[in-house]
Each structure stands twice: as structure tokens, then as C-alpha cells.
């Protein structure tokens, strides 16, 4: 699957994206969503590669952005501003102004104060801003605590007990148009049950808002559909059909209402791998280490979330397997990609692939230890 001979000419570590798989994945998501007339706003935070973004905008995806720079990147890569949702609990004034100037689809607002600020900034420009209320539905996504967002204790969204009050106040803000209610319960959700719960909550809240005379044209259920980190080959394309069918079965949309979602990981995770080289093999009495040239600066998910990524030695060989801890070069004990990994006997110079790294990999890289940011290569260009 990997063009190993071509890899030998590329300095490691680097990200490698299988463009053909990316296209098939995006197309699968789109086809399933279109069955029900749903819109997908791709979450740029998962991977903001210009090449991949251009492919998505060309296919008709909308964008979900969480910073002014992401809004700019999305527009620069061909997304229509009318398809851009701008989320985030801490939007700066200049970022809000950028969104107003570009007449984006919606500011997903997370507090009354934020709504007031957007209203004021729009008023100063003599413009109207479309807003969504980001509601914290208090639904447990049953995922890692660091990527659960929809619980009362999280910083995100307007809490249920504040909702009616805030919704009434928005009506009095002359330069805002409330077009959408927005939810996001978390990320890497591998069961469909939390989405069923979310739909029930959305139905309940739509009724609650209607009782105070508030109706919206759009419902945005956020992202969160998980991928199979253990079996990247067998499940290279996530279960989009089941996800959209679940939404369709459980959400009660009003006439003329459009459903939106903000998938990130499920679109891009499986097509990306971090390719690294074995620098050293340390064989100790109790343990063997493979020291690779990629570190937590290139892919922080294992260190930050104890996330699992499948590791493969992709240099062709026939030797017996051995068990290794695969570690990076950074001066931190948490710079470990995985422990007790069975790999064919590994040698200095072998190429190692860390799989399912297309989402929240390259975008979260840092320059700690003054390391270079990893470069990206694409299967149709190498
Ligand atoms: N919409 C909102 C409002 C979000 O906060 C997120 C992700 C998404 C959509 C996209 O969710 P996805 O479909 O990708 O699950 N760095 C972490 C993940 C953080 C997710 C943050 N929010 C990781 O590496 O697992």
C-alpha cells in the first residue's frame, strides 16, 4: 500500500496522505448525507491541508472553522462563506469582524455576552450576522474525558437552564438573525447511542423553544463520528450510512428545516499516516526500544490522550517478531507512541508507519525542542 521505494528519497518524519482513499471517504460521507438532504461542514481543525480542503470544497462540502485563520483558509481554498460555520468559545473581535465581512453562514455562539459582542460589531458595520445558539445538551459521549464537550461541567455552549432566557434576548438584538441551534457532544464516538440521545435532546429542545415562539431554519448536530484506530485496513471508511440513518431515524425536523453536521476526524483520519524512521534499537534485559525520528511534536495524540495508533514496520523483511516500546526522541517520558508493540525484528533505517494519523496529527504538531514541523506528501504527487 505504501510506495516504500519513493519514501526512501523523502526525509523523515513526514505525513503521507492517500488521496484516493480520502476522495472515496469524502464521497461516501457526502452520498450518505445527500440521501436525506443533510449538509456536511468539514471541521478544518482535524486537518487544514490546502490540497485536501480544495478537494472538499470542490465536492460541495461546507466548512466548520474555529479561528479567523481557519475562516480565511477555508475561503482561500474555495469554500463558499455561506457554507461556513464559525464555532469556538473564545472568538476575538477581529475574528468576528472577518466573519461578518464575509457574511458567513453562522456564528455558533456560546454565551449571551458573545451574542452581544457579535450584535454590537455587526451594528457598527451596518450589517446583520446570522447566529446559531450552541447549546450544551448535557449528553455523555462516552469518549475520552479530554474530548467530551457536551456535559454541564464542560466550558462549551449555553447551558440548558439558560437557554430560554438567551433565546428571548437574541430576538431583541437588532443586528442578529437566529438561524440555527447547534450541538456537539464530543469526538471519537464509536457507538451510535450517544447520537440517539442527542437527537432526543434536540427534539425536546425544539419543542421547548417553540413554546416561547423561537423557531430556526437549521439544526446543526456537530461532529464526533469515530474511526477504527485498531483496524485501519478493514474499516478504512467509517460507518457513514449508519450514522446518517440514525440521525434520520431519531431527529424530528420541522418542515423546511435543514440538518447540518460538522464531521472532521471521520473524513480524514484513515487516509493519513505518519512515516518515521528507526534511528536506534535498544535491546535491554527487560525491554526492547525502537527509537524513531518522529516524536510527540509530530503526533501528540498518544502522549496527550493515551490514544492508540497502529504501528507498522513497512520495510519489507521476513525476520521473526519482537516486542518493542516505540518511542520518540523528545526529552519527555511521555514521548512514547506505544508500548509492547509486536513488530518484525526492527533495524536502524527501517521505515515505520503510524496509522490513522490524518486527523488531529499534522495540525497539532509543535516546534518543541526547536524541531521542524513535519511536511506533508500526497499519494498522487510522490
Ligand atoms: N464541531 C465542533 C464544535 C467541535 O468541537 C469538533 C471537534 C468537531 C465539530 C469535529 O469533531 P470530529 O468529527 O473531528 O470528532 N484533538 C482531539 C479531538 C478534538 C476535537 C475537538 N472538537 C483528538 O486528537 O482526538
Tell the CATH topology of 4-14+270-378. Lyase, Ornithine Decarboxylase; Chain A, domain 1 (2.40.37)
The answer, yes or no, to whether residue 264 has pLDDT greater than 60, is yes
Confidence tier at 215 by pLDDT (50, 70, 90): very high
Q: Percentage of the chain with pLDDT > 90? A: 93
Q: Which of 144, 264, 354 to mutate to test the pocket of ligand 1 (most atoms within 8 A of CB)?
A: 264
Give the list of residues 6+ apart from residue 21 with CB closer than 8 angstroms, or none: 236, 237, 270, 271
Residue whose CB lies within 8 A of the most ligand 1 atoms, among 64, 85, 141, 187, for a mutation test = 187
Strands 272-283 and 375-378, by their bridges, are unpaired
Measured CA to CA in angstroms, residue 349 lies from 15, 279, 313, 315, 328 at distances of: 17, 6, 11, 9, 14
- Residue 203's pLDDT band, with cuts at 50, 70 and 90, is very high
- Residues having CB closer than 6 A to ligand 1 are 43, 46, 64, 87, 147, 149, 184, 187-188, 222-225, 262-266, 301, 305, 360
Whole-number Å distance between alpha carbons of 202 and 137? 8
Boundaries of every domain in the chain: 4-14+270-378, 19-269
Instruction: Pick the residue whose CA is nearest to atom 23 on ligand 1.
Output: 360
CA distance 245 to 330: 44
Q: Which atom of ligand 1 is nearest to the CA of 144?
A: 25
Q: Is 105 helix (H, G, I), strand (E, B) or coil?
A: coil
> Which atom of ligand 1 lies nearest, measured to the CA of 88?
3
pLDDT of residue 1: 81
What own/partner pairs with CB < 8 Å and gap ≥ 24 does 231-236 have? 231/310, 232/270, 232/310, 232/355, 232/356, 235/270, 236/21, 236/25, 236/270
**How far is ligand 1, taken at its centre, from the CA of residue 174, in Å?**
32
pLDDT category at 319 given cuts 50, 70, 90 is confident
pLDDT of residue 152: 64
Give tens-digit pLDDT for 127-138. 999 999 999 998
The pLDDT score that the predictor gives to residue 217 is 98
Taking the C-alpha atoms of residue 40 and residue 223, their distance in angstroms, rounded to an integer, is 9
CB atoms near residue 273 (< 10 Å):
27
The whole model's pTM is what?
0.96
Q: Is the pLDDT of residue 248 over 90?
A: yes
Q: What is the CA radius of gyration of the chain?
A: 22
Distance in Å, CA 274 to ligand 1 centroid: 20
CATH number of 19-269: 3.20.20.10
Ligand 1 atom nearest 182 alpha carbon: 3
Question: Residue 248 is placed in which grid cell?
Answer: 434520520
Q: pLDDT grade, residue 56 (50/70/90)?
A: very high
3-state secondary structure of 274: strand
Query: Which residue's CA is minimally distant from atom 22 of ligand 1?
Result: 187
Ligand 1 mutation pick, 33, 41, 45, max ligand atoms within 8 A of CB? 45
Q: Would you state the torsion angle of the CA atoms of residues 102, 180, 193, 184, taken in this order, to the nearest 10 degrees?
A: 50
Angle at 368 between CA 367 and CA 374, to 5 degrees: 35
Distance from the alpha carbon of residue 315 to the mean position of ligand 1, in angstroms: 33
CA of 49 to the centre of ligand 1 (A): 16
d(CA 106, CA 87): 8
Residue 311 clears pLDDT 60, i.e. is over it: yes
> How many angstroms separate the alpha carbon of residue 263 from the centre of ligand 1?
8
Residue 170 reports pLDDT greater than 90? yes
Q: Which residues face 292 on adjacent strands?
A: 278
4-14+270-378 and 19-269, same CATH topology: no
* Ligand 1, atom 16: closest residue by C-alpha: 360
Amino acid at each position: 500500500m505504501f510506495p516504500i521505494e519513493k519514501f526512501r528519497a523523502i526525509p523523515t518524519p513526514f505525513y503521507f496522505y492517500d488521496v484516493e482513499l480520502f476522495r472515496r471517504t469524502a464521497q461516501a460521507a457526502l452520498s450518505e448525507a445527500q440521501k436525506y438532504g443533510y449538509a456536511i461542514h468539514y471541521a478544518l481543525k482535524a486537518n487544514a491541508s490546502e490540497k485536501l480542503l480544495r478537494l472538499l470544497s470542490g465536492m460541495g462540502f461546507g466548512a466548520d472553522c474555529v479561528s479567523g485563520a481557519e475562516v480565511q483558509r477555508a475561503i482561500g481554498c474555495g469554500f463558499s462563506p455561506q457554507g461556513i460555520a464559525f464555532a469556538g468559545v473564545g472568538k476575538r473581535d477581529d475574528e468576528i469582524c472577518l466573519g461578518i465581512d464575509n457574511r458567513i453562514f453562522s456564528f455558533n455562539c456560546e454565551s449571551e455576552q458573545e451574542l452581544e459582542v457579535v450584535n454590537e460589531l455587526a451594528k457598527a458595520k451596518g450589517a446583520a450576522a446570522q447566529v446559531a445558539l450552541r447549546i450544551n445538551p448535557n449528553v455523555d459521549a462516552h469518549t475520552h474525558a479530554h474530548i467530551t464537550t457536551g456535559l454541564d461541567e464542560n466550558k462549551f455552549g449555553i447551558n440548558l437552564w439558560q437557554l430560554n432566557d438567551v433565546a428571548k434576548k437574541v430576538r431583541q438584538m437588532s443586528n442578529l438573525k437566529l438561524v440555527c441551534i447547534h450541538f456537539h457532544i464530543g469526538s471519537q464516538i464509536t457507538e451510535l447511542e450517544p447520537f440517539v440521545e442527542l437527537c432526543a435532546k434536540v427534539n425536546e429542545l425544539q419543542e421547548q423553544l417553540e413554546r416561547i415562539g423561537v423557531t430556526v431554519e437549521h439544526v446543526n448536530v456537530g461532529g464526533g463520528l469515530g474511526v477504527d484506530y485498531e483496524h485501519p485496513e478493514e474499516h478504512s471508511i467509517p460507518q457513514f450510512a449508519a450514522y446518517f440513518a440514525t440521525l434520520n431515524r431519531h431527529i424530528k425536523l420541522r418542515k423546511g428545516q435543514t440538518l447540518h453536521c460538522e464531521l472532521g476526524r471521520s473524513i480524514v483520519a484513515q487516509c493519513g499516516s505518519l512515516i518515521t524512521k528507526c534511528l536506534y534499537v535498544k535491546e535491554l534485559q527487560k525491554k526492547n526500544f525502537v527509537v524513531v525520528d518522529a516524536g510527540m511534536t509530530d503526533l501528540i495524540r498518544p502522549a496527550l490522550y493515551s490514544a492508540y495508533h497502529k504501528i507498522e514496520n513497512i520495510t519489507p523483511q521476513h525476520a521473526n517478531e519482537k516486542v518493542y516500546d516505540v518511542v520518540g526522541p523528545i526529552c519527555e517520558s511521555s514521548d512514547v507512541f506505544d508500548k509492547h508493540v509486536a513488530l518484525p525484528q526492527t533495524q536502524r533505517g527501517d521505515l515505520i508507519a503510524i496509522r490513522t494519523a490524518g486527523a488531529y496529527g499534522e495540525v497539532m504538531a509543535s516546534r518543541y525542542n526547536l524541531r521542524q514541523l513535519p511536511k506533508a506528501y500526497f499519494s498522487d504527487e510522490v
